[in-house]
Each structure stands twice: as structure tokens, then as C-alpha cells.
A and B are shown apart, each in its own frame.
Chain A
Amino acid sequence: MQAIRVENLSKTFRVKRKEKGMRGSVKAIFHPQTEEIRAVNGVSFSVAEGEMLAFIGPNGAGKSTTIKMLTGILYPDGGRVEVLGVDPTKKRRQLAYQIGTVFGQKEQLWTHLTPYDNFRFFGAIYDLTERETEARIEELSERFALKEFIDTPVRNLSLGQRIRCEMVAALIHKPKVLFLDEPTIGLDPVVKENVRELIRQMNREEHTTVFLTSHDVGDIEKLCRRIIIVNDGQIVLDDSVEHLKSHYLEHSLEEIIVEIYKAQEED
């Protein structure tokens, strides 16, 4: 069964344009100029239940916009989205009970509270009873090795500890699909490897579908079997990591990805 189905998905942003300097600012008051930017342009793909997919591309390719449409943050201009059979534009709340999100660049935790208090808050958000929340905190804090700092305010944690807590907050309600937007950004190699192992373990034990965007080739290589590359809002490659490697023998995955990005730029 498909966990995610996307058909002809599009999103356009209207961006203001202004000429240089003060003169341009004054001119923009009387003659405002805007430009339409197609962030996502007719994207179609599907993700099977339990699959771990890498959705990558250069900066501004449309990765985050796509992930935001899949999670119900943004409304698409065209096309169809279904996550676990639910349309995020129509039943955002129903979908939110079944998905988890980790945005590496955006904190969801309250920084003045301890991870424990944060997890209790997230338990309430997902309508878990106190007993269910406590049991889940116990289970996840064991798995993510949080015991040492579970009672330390989040603002005093290291980046690696914070990301682990962000992941626990996203997993408190046992989501069926996990959206990870650059979850290892800024982490040292050891912590990165720990986070990857935790994602793998979760996928193995809870059969969680993982939708990952990352600029770190290590994340893709060590977690995902399938890779989708987007550029200028369109899919330019949808293939298995294994096939990609066998096709470009003697090249590392990083070199292959860079070559594909460069070829797209030249086009």
C-alpha cells in the first residue's frame, strides 16, 4: 500500500521585485512589481508504506515546499496529495495525528522547559492519556538515551541532544509517516551516525515510512534505498540508490549527485 501519493503537484509564490536603492523603493510604492516563482511544478510520485525515501535537490529546488504541502503547512495551487489516504488540505488535523515532523532548522520544543515537560505537552497535543505519555517517554528516552539530560532545560542542551529530543517529540504519538527536513544539519559525525541508527531502528521496529530531505550524502547512503532528485520544482531523477551506483561505477554517490546537479544547471 502507498503511504504517500502525489499527482501533478504545483505551488507558485508571488515575490515582490524592486529596483536598486532609494529611488527603486519610492518607485515600488507607486508601481509595485511582482514576479511569479514556480517553486513546485507538476511533481508526481508515490512512496510505499515502510519505505525510506531521500527527496533531495540543490537549494531552492522545491524540496521544503513539497514537504510543507505534504504535511498541510502550505496549500498547493494545483494537483493532488494523499498521505495515508488523507488529503492534507481538507483534513489537516486528522492527518497530523498520523505523521511526525522534524525540521532541523526549526525548533518545535519550548526552550525554557525540560525535555520531559516538553514530551508531556506533546502527549497532550496528540490526546494521549497521562499513562500512555509516561510509557512512551520511558520507552523513547531509553531508546534515544535521554535519561542523563531529560530534566535539563532544552536551552542548555547541545545541538545533538536537542535534535534527539526533537525526534522523540515527533515520535511521541507513534506516527506512521515521519517527515525529516535536514535532521542532521550542524551535527558532528558521531552524533549524525547515532541519529541515523535511531531512524533505521525505528523504521525496522515500527515500520515507519520516512520521507527525508538532506544535503548530507551520508544520510541518503546509509538510510534510503530510493532517491528522488528535484530541480526547479520538477523531478529530474527517481531511481534506487543501488541502481544509481551501479550505473556510475567508480563514482561515489556524492560525485554522482553533484554531476546530476551540474547537468541540470547547464540545461
Chain B
Amino acid sequence: MLTVVKNQMRVCALSVKYNIMREMVNKVTFLTNVGFMVLNNATFLVQWMILLRMRGDVGGYTMREIMLLWGFMAASFGLSHILFARAFSLSDLIIKGKLDSFLVQPKNVLVSVLTSATDSSAIGDFLYGTALVCACKPGVGGFFLFLLLVVTGTVIFTAFAVLLGSLSFWFVRMDMLQNQIVMGIVSFGTYPDGIFKGASRFFLYFIIPVGMAVWHPVHLMVSFDAGMFFTVAGYACVLLALAVAVFYRGLRRYASGNLMVARL
């Protein structure tokens, strides 16, 4: 069992390495993608600085919480797009029958698919998010807590994308819905949770998992609560198990395809 995991990890590491090598083929594009993503994120922070100068806080968030919020959003979303970018285009792979080459390999299909691409601009996201949290001076313990919560956030984002993408085994054009909901996560996840009340708050915590991936981690960095931490970790595990189960259930319905396909 240990050997199986070790061999799978070896393939995943090679896959991620080759993905990054592919992104670096054109150095100028690669560096521009990374750099402009950092700049793009930074402009939003300037807007928040102006807004918070006009009023002390928004939804209970001061500048420090806003920086943590953007830090978690960028780092978790970035890491999930560096390691598991294919989760966000899974729907397209299923609809166009592009899973064949993964299915003839003696490795875990889902892990092989997820690690088969990377998004170079996500490196900018991850670096920006990490730098932002470091700027909040969280201390050594706080930084390790941040890393741990980035891992749970990455698992939540990836699992949620896999869950949505896997619905393409049953419904056509789920790729559009997948893209819209993922963009919705990014939009909602960059605002303080205090401005959402009632049903919308419940929706954003449990249906679209922004609360578990970003807002709870911000609260945990401000004031650690073991119960809240285990709720986030538990939610990440349950969502991951659900996503894996739905993917493999759907795989039985996979119809492949006869399109000419190249592994680019």
C-alpha cells in the first residue's frame, strides 16, 4: 500500500514538474503571467485601503482582516490552480472524451487527471497571497496555521470543482455552470462575510464553500478556535470524499470520443 502511494506521488511530482516546465517554455509569457497576476491582485487592495480610510471597517473587517482575506483567497485558489488546474476544466475533458489516456495508465485516474496541467498565473496568486499574510506579521505559529489552512482551502476549492465538473457525466454543458460558480466563489470570497446575512450567508458557507475555504480561516488567524478548525478540516474531508465518489460513479457513464486529441 505504501509503495502504491509512493509511486503515485512520484508520478504526481513528475507531472507537476513537467507542467511547470511547459509553462516556462516561453519565459517572457511565463514571467509576465506571474507578474501581472500579482499586480492585478494588488490593485484591489488599493481600493480597499481607500474605502477603509473613509469608514473604519466593512462588515467587521479592518485592513488587517482584508489582507488576510485576500491572502487566503489568493494562496488557496492559486495552489489549487498550480497543482490541480485540470479540476477547473474537468467538465470539458469529460464532454470531449479526453480521459482515455488517463484510463489506460495503471494509476489513480482522478489524481492523474487533476495533476495533468498547471496555470502559470496561479503562481502569482500564491506568491501574492503568501506575501500578504506575511505582511500581517502572524508569527511562526501563525504562519504554520496559515499554511495548514491554505491546504484545507485548496482541498475545498479543488473538490468543489471536481464535484461540479463530474456532473458532466450526467448533464451536457456543465462546463458553463462550473465556470460561473467558480468565478462566483472568487467574487464572493474577496468580500467580508459580515456583509452577508440570513439565507445568503448559509448558502455561502455550506452550498458554495467560500465560508469554509476563506472566511473561517480568516477568523482562525485572528482568534484560534479548535472547534472551528476541526469544522473546516472535517468539511474539507467530507467534500473531498463526496467529489471522489461522484467522479467514480460518473466514470461508469464516460462515453469517450473520436476527436483528434493532442496532449498539449
What is A's interface to B at a CB cutoff of 8 Å?
13, 16, 64, 68, 71-75, 92-94, 96-97, 99, 101, 103, 105-113, 117, 120-121, 124-127
CA distance A242 to B258 in the complex (A): 32
Determine how close the nearest CB of chain A comes to the CB of B49; give it in whole angstroms: 41
CA distance A124 to B15 in the complex (A): 10
**CB-CB under 8 A for A112 and B103, given A74-B255, A125-B11:** no
Contact residue among A13, A73, A113, A120 (Cβ-Cβ distance under 8 Å from B104):
A73
User: By the criterion CB–CB under 8 Å, are A124 and B14 in contact?
Assistant: yes
Determine how close the nearest CB of chain B comes to the CB of A199; give it in whole angstroms: 18
Contacts of A124 in B (CB 8 A): 7, 10-11, 14
CA distance A110 to B107 in the complex (A): 17
Q: Which residue of A lies closest to B6 (CB)?
A: A127
Can you spell out 21 A-B residue pairs with CB atoms less than 8 angstroms apart? A64-B258, A68-B100, A72-B103, A73-B100, A74-B255, A75-B252, A75-B254, A97-B106, A99-B104, A106-B100, A106-B101, A106-B260, A109-B263, A110-B22, A110-B263, A113-B21, A113-B22, A117-B18, A120-B14, A121-B11, A127-B106
Contacts of A101 in B (CB 8 A): 104
User: By the criterion CB–CB under 8 Å, are A107 and B263 in contact?
Assistant: yes
Determine how close the nearest CB of chain A comes to the CB of B197; give it in whole angstroms: 35
Looking at B25, B105, B254, B260, which has the most chain A CB atoms within 10 Å of its CB? Answer: B105
Looking at A108, A113, A117, A125, which has the most chain B CB atoms within 10 Å of its CB? Answer: A125
Contact residue among B14, B103, B258, B262 (Cβ-Cβ distance under 8 Å from A121):
B14
Contacts of B260 in A (CB 8 A): 105-106
User: By the criterion CB–CB under 8 Å, are A73 and B103 in contact?
Assistant: yes
User: By the criterion CB–CB under 8 Å, are A71 and B14 in contact?
Assistant: no
CA distance A96 to B106 in the complex (A): 5
Contact residue among B25, B99, B106 (Cβ-Cβ distance under 8 Å from A93):
B106
- The verdict on B256 contacting chain A, using a C-beta distance below 8 Å, is yes
Number of interface residues of B (CB under 8 A): 29
Q: Which residue of B lies closest to A95 (CB)?
A: B106
Contacts of B100 in A (CB 8 A): 68, 73, 103, 106
User: By the criterion CB–CB under 8 Å, are B255 and A13 in contact?
Assistant: yes
CA distance A73 to B25 in the complex (A): 32
User: By the criterion CB–CB under 8 Å, are A125 and B252 in contact?
Assistant: no
Determine how close the nearest CB of chain A comes to the CB of B260; give it in whole angstroms: 5
5 closest cross-chain pairs (CB), A and B: A96-B106, A107-B262, A112-B22, A73-B103, A93-B106
CA distance A107 to B15 in the complex (A): 16
**CB-CB under 8 A for A126 and B106, given A105-B261, A111-B262, A113-B18:** yes
**CB-CB under 8 A for A121 and B18, given A73-B256, A74-B254, A105-B260:** yes
Within 8 A of A (CB), among B234-264: 252-256, 258, 260-264
Contacts of A126 in B (CB 8 A): 106
CA distance A99 to B106 in the complex (A): 10
Contacts of A110 in B (CB 8 A): 18, 22, 263
Question: Residue-by-residue, is B155-175 near A (CB-CB < 8 Å gives 1, otherwise 0)?
Answer: 000000000000000001000
User: By the criterion CB–CB under 8 Å, are B261 and A125 in contact?
Assistant: no
User: By the criterion CB–CB under 8 Å, are A96 and B104 in contact?
Assistant: yes
Contacts of B107 in A (CB 8 A): 93, 125
Within 8 A of A (CB), among B146-194: 172
Contacts of B106 in A (CB 8 A): 93-94, 96-97, 125-127
Q: Which residue of A lies closest to B104 (CB)?
A: A101
**CB-CB under 8 A for A112 and B21, given A75-B252, A99-B104, A121-B14:** yes
